[in-house]
Structure 1
Amino acid sequence: MESPVAQRIRELIVEGTLAPGTRVAEAAIAERLGVSRTPVRNALPALAMEGLLEPAGKRGWAVRGFSVEDSFRGTEIRCLLEGYAARELAARPDRGPVVAELRDCLAEGDAIFAKGHVVKEDEEAYGRMNRRFHDTINSGARDPLLSDLIHRVYAVPFVAPAVVAFNRVPLEEIFPILVSGHHQHHAIVDAIEAGQPDVAETLMRGHSSPARRSLGLDKLPEIALPDV
């Protein structure tokens, strides 16, 4: 489960408060956020896995330089690879248990959206559910090489499915975007369960649009992601 500290550090990077190349010191970040150094220390490696930080010196971190286009293209490539994973899973005769786990993810998402809107506190729950959904499909394909390639793409900033940036898009705008993406989740699972590899792959490949829109990546001139 992602910590609020990791979310807040990510926001500082996205907002440009922590600019590319900035050294990220545990003590300074802890003081800024009003927390102890321990949750900061735990959050930094996870943010490095997302591609937001890179090693700097001995056991240190710095904000990684990247462009909006990197994230845009990375999301496209992620969905192409995950489309193949969905295809392989849909063709497996033993996919039943995986489908059951995916249905559980759908129920979790349905519960988040049942109230007809989202609040800031939903960010962690949705990101966790979305990561679990995509990880379940990727692992369910049982293709180690494909899984490795997908996780390599996750290292591009804002490409990993657990990343949701509620601070970049107004909540009233992000709600229909996320609901649309979750409807796609339902259709993808239906195709996998029905044993329709072509349909499952096509739907997953098309899943990049709501992913980009939920991060504001479809509004390139309007957002302030670090661009170097």
Structure 2
Amino acid sequence: MMAAVENVERAQSQTVTALLALRDLIVNGELKSGDRISELVMVERIGVSRTPLRTALVKLEQEGLIEEIPSGGYAVKAFSEADVFDAIEIRGTLEGLAARYAAERGVAQMRLAELRRCVETIDNTIHTDHMNDADFQTYLHANERFHALLAELSGSPALIREIERVARLPFASASAFVLAEASLPESQRILIIANEHHRAVVEAIENRESARAEAIMREHARLSHRNLMLAMRSQKTLDLVPGSALIRRRA
């Protein structure tokens, strides 16, 4: 019995290892759009057996990073600009629904205080003359924490799963454009506007203004739309967006 449990745990651990390694290879551009994923090569490269590797490939297909090919196996997926905009819009719609649910169902002051601490941390980070690497890491953590908390406060496990699923697409996550934003002349203004959205949605949730809370988070996602358009003006800037190598740009 103990041996069986250990075998299951070992297989699960190898699946997680394979999943993280494959996702990293794709997001970093080492595996490019259209590349066929060879199981034998990946088994050797990652150091896992074929069964957990195949399980990881199925999970990556569900996430939308790879797709089955007619000849068998999987290839890295390519995304059009429209695909990316749609993914961002879907995240905004889902986070808007999370904010609506939180406002309608009510949130304890202690949980609202957690959101406010994220807002304050971001404020202290972005209102500086020059953000260094440590500042960006602080911003990144606080921003991701804010969005994760917002999903939790919806009180809907089904909605939380869907938000996590769309956010696994590297360019659709809440922090996808942080490094790209840093290289833009408008960076500080964009970050300030984004954090004002955070502040406003906390206020709307506290006041039980569900429609307002939903609208704010949908508008918040539109900032990512704008940031993508700005990033696309320069390949150097676009390269700072995780998974940008998967985006098939229009001529």
Task: Using structure 1 for the length normalisation, give the TM-score.
Answer: 0.69
Distance 1:175 1:10 in 2: 30
Alignment match, 1:184: 197
CA distance in structure 1 between the partners assigned to 2:26 and 2:183 by the alignment: 17
Deviations 1:56-90 (A, max 9, x none): 9xxxx975422222221111111111111101111
Cα distance between partner residues in 2 of 1:134 and 1:156: 15
Equivalent pairs, count = 201
Distance in 2, Cα, partners of 1:222 & 1:52: 26
- Map 1:154-173; keep pairs closer than 5 Å: 154-167=167-180, 170-173=183-186
Partner of 1:74: 87
**Aligned partner of 1:150: which letter?**
I
- CA 1:10 to 1:130, structure 2 compared with 1: closer, same or farther past 3 Å? farther
Contact 1:71 1:157 in 2 (8 A): no
Deviations 1:138-195 (A, max 9, x none): 1111111111221222133311113234247624322211111111111111111122
Instruction: For residue 21 of structure 1, report the CA deviation from its aligned partner.
Output: 3.9
Structure 2 spans left out of the alignment, 5+ residues: 1-23, 48-55, 69-73, 239-243
Asked if structure 2 preserves the Cα contact closer than 8 Å seen for 1:83 and 1:202, the reply is: yes
Q: Hey, what does 1:149 align to over in structure 2?
A: 162
1:103 aligns with 2:124: no
Q: Which has the larger radius of gyration?
A: 2
Unaligned runs of 5+ in 1: 1-7, 30-36, 38-44
Q: C-alpha separation between the residues in 1 aligned to 2:138 and 2:150?
A: 19
CA deviation map 1:102-133 (0-9, x unaligned): 01111110111121443444333222211111
Q: Contact (CA 8 Å) 1:181, 1:211: kept in 2 or not?
A: no
Larger RCO: 1 or 2 (CA < 8 Å, sep 6+): 1
For residues 137 and 172 of structure 1, what CA distance do their matches in structure 2 show? 29
Q: C-alpha separation between the residues in 2 aligned to 1:83 and 1:143?
A: 13
Over 3 Å counting, the alpha-carbon distance change for 1:118 and 1:210 in structure 2 is farther
Structure 2: how far apart are the matches of 1:129 and 1:91? 25
3-state SS of the aligned residue for 1:69? Answer: helix
Aligned to 2:179, the other structure's residue is in SS state coil
> What residue identity is the alignment partner of 1:122?
D
Looking at structure 2, the residues matched to 178 and 167 of structure 1 have their Cα atoms a distance apart, in angstroms, of: 12
Which residue identity does 2:248 align to in structure 1?
A: D
Q: In the alignment, what sits opposite 1:4?
A: none
* Counterpart residue number, 1:227: 248
Which one of the candidate residues 128, 131, 136 is aligned to 2:141?
128
Q: Distance in 1 between matches of 2:175 and 2:94?
A: 17
Identity of aligned residues (%): 29
CA distance in 1, matches of 2:159, 2:105: 16
Counterparts of 2:144 and 2:185, CA distance in 1: 23
